[in-house]
Copies of this chain bind each other. A is one copy, B any other.
């Protein structure tokens, strides 16, 4: 039985807790939450602690707090040589300083509290300061997911940057698309099959080969008409810049 304690109560902690509770060979030891209400519907009252000093020993401590709090939370763990990992896409492994047994357990996915996520499809990006601890992380991750990768801190930072482009930024372009629909009394639903197909197409085609539209065709008359139709200066600027970027490839 592998014992794990979770430090954090946000979206990542929430999904981790739910999935640990489903496993036979993993025991959720404790959950550290500054706001116990945020996890009280998931775990029993006596498993929740509001002070890190109340932690019991565990095989693994997973820190799932905001990037800026990782160091402070890690430093407060009251055991010498505990195995401590964080779940950040951007912080280096060495932001954990109070142990030689450190690692990263980064789940490359977008989490919302109100949307279930299929853990088995999530890529787990693992890193650890020694081989044995890496193997423990791997043993845990393969219970959750079929996609487990060994990823260095440098690679992870690149993945996180790429993820901002393919998730945060694409999502925002959909927000802009929704605004354009609203302004013209068109239901945004009409665009949803296209949005899904755009993602599915990339499963089988490299995105460069999947590119369509007026920019790649060099259809200047449509580009001009679109720019004319855009009243919002920032939408216009985004249209021009991405069109230029598509045409530069």
A interface with B by C-beta (< 8 Å) = 67-68, 90, 108-112, 114-115, 117, 121-123, 125, 147, 149, 151, 154-155, 157-159, 161-178, 180-181, 183-186, 188, 190-208, 210-216, 219, 221-222, 225-226, 229-230, 234-235, 237-239, 241-242, 244-246, 248-249
Contact = CB atoms under 8 A, between A and B. Distances in A.
B173 A222 contact: no
A57 B146 CA distance: 57
Contacts of A162: 176-178, 180-181, 186, 191
A229 B151 CA distance: 18
A171 B211 contact: yes
Contact of A161 (B157, B172, B207, B229): B229
B108 A193 contact: yes
Contacts of A238: 165, 169, 241-242, 245
A231 to B, nearest CB: 12
Contact of A169 (B161, B173, B193): B173
B158 A180 contact: yes
Contacts of A161: 180, 226, 229-230
Nearest to A114: B205
A159 B195 CA distance: 13
Nearest to A172: B246
Most chain B C-beta atoms within 10 Å of own C-beta, residue among A178, A193, A204: A193
A206 B246 CA distance: 27
Secondary structure type dominating chain A contacts: helix
A141 B195 CA distance: 21
A226 B110 CA distance: 18
Contacts of A190: 108, 123, 125, 147, 149, 159
A116 to B, nearest CB: 10
Nearest to A244: B234
Given A90-B222, A174-B170, A198 B197 contact: no
A194 B176 contact: no
Contacts of A154: 184
Contacts of A219: 67
